[in-house]
Amino acid sequence: MKKTDTKFILSLFVTAAVLGLLFVLIKRVSPPERVDSGYREAMGTFARVVCVHEDPAVSRKAIEGAFDQIHQVEKLMNIYDEDSQISKINRAAYAEPVKVDHAVFEVIEKSVLLSGKTDGAFDITAGPVINLWREAQQQDEPPTQQQIEQALAKVGSEKIVLERENSTVAFSVEGMLLDLGGIAKGYAADLAVKAIKDAGADGAMVDIGGDIRVFGKAPKGAEYWLIGLQDPEKAEPTALNSRPFVVLVLNDFAVTTSGHYHRFTEIDGARHSHIIDIHTGQSADGLASVTVFAPTAAQADALATAVAVMGKEKGLELIESLENTEAILIDPQSPEELIKTTGADKFIR
């Protein structure tokens, strides 16, 4: 081999080594990979998980772990599943205490405490009244006042008897029915985030039907996770990708939006919110949209329901009294105006 050939080959090795070094450096400084689960059916709605990590395999494993938690909560707390623990409570808890898993006990216990803090605006015992309105929808005729009063006699978190040592739940009044629809999705999102963290992901967003929690690094090296708030006047109930009314920025926090534009009953041509005020037995139609920011998705989920029931003045007063909690309300009479708590602007882009 000629001397010049040797020099040429050596130069190729050097060049390759340099390029290899550059590739490693570029790989190290480039933004972490983003893996998106896409929308999947869960908990009677659509759920989506987005994970961030430099290794997509880690993100994929974290996503599946998150959905395992979501489906487990659904299995335990789905009132439409006769085999769920909530269904078992609803069938048997008046006759005798029902032993439940830690997760079910924890959600019910949290719910009872939140009912006290919100003066019953959030109450998981609203099941009898909710069922009454569902039946009214099928008959296309609103319930009578007598029917409402009979249902309300079976409502009230103070009628739940909890025994922490044995994790049992009992009812003090016959005919009571629990419905965890105002907190279960948020609780599932919190458990999903914990599973993702345990799997080693650097950041993630969990969205279960509008109950959203994020943590850590955002995609593409962004400073925040961006969340779209829908316009309640234009949003379609089944729209997954409608244009946002407001863009929210979130970091290590949770947000939930509740509004009758997503879930409602229609009776005799009139639309009624799925959220029930247990003080009156009527649907809570005073606000078009309630968005609550809180440290956990369970808190945000329950408080959004509470504010929807309490209305603008009392709802704002409640949120202002709570630490690390903010809200954005939309009044159907002035849908173009955002009604905000004092610290809510930091979440608006």
Mean pLDDT on 300-305? 97
User: Which residue among 141, 171, 201 closes a domain?
Assistant: 171
Ramachandran region, residue 54 (left: φ > 0; alpha: ψ -120 to 50; beta: rest):
alpha
> CATH code at 200?
3.10.520.10
Cα–Cα distance measured from residue 323 to residue 306, given in angstroms and rounded to the nearest whole number: 16
Q: What is the pTM of this model?
A: 0.86
The radius of gyration computed from the CA coordinates of the chain, to the nearest angstrom, equals: 25
pLDDT at 213 (0 to 100): 98
* Residue 335 CB neighbours (<10 A): 15
Q: Amino acid identity, residue 253?
A: F
Using one digit for the tens of pLDDT, what is the confidence trace for 77-93? 999 999 999 999 999 99
Q: Are 255 and 347 in contact (CB under 8 A)?
A: yes
Q: In which band, very low, low, confident or very high, does the pLDDT at 141 lie, cut at 50, 70 and 90? A: confident
Is 136 in the same domain as 267?
no
Q: How many CA atoms lie within 13 A of 298 on its CB side?
A: 18
In a domain, 66, yes or no: yes
Is 137 in the same domain as 212?
no
Question: CA-based diameter of the chain, in Å?
Answer: 105
Domain extent, residue 166, equals 85-171
Percent of the chain predicted with pLDDT > 90: 71
Q: How many domains does the chain have?
A: 2
Q: Is the pLDDT at 203 greater than 60, yes or no?
A: yes
Q: In which band, very low, low, confident or very high, does the pLDDT at 137 lie, cut at 50, 70 and 90? A: confident
pLDDT at 13 (0 to 100): 36
> CATH code at 160?
1.10.3980.10
More confident residue, 302 or 334: 302
In a domain, 232, yes or no: yes
User: In whole numbers, what is the pLDDT of the chain averaged over residues?
Assistant: 87
Q: Is the pLDDT at 52 greater than 50, yes or no?
A: yes
In a domain, 176, yes or no: no
Q: Are 316 and 341 in contact (CB under 8 A)?
A: yes
Lowest mean pLDDT, pick from 11-20, 123-132, 167-176, 313-322:
11-20
Is 163 in the same domain as 191?
no
More confident residue, 347 or 246: 347
pLDDT at 234 (0 to 100): 58
pLDDT at 85 (0 to 100): 98
pLDDT at 269 (0 to 100): 52
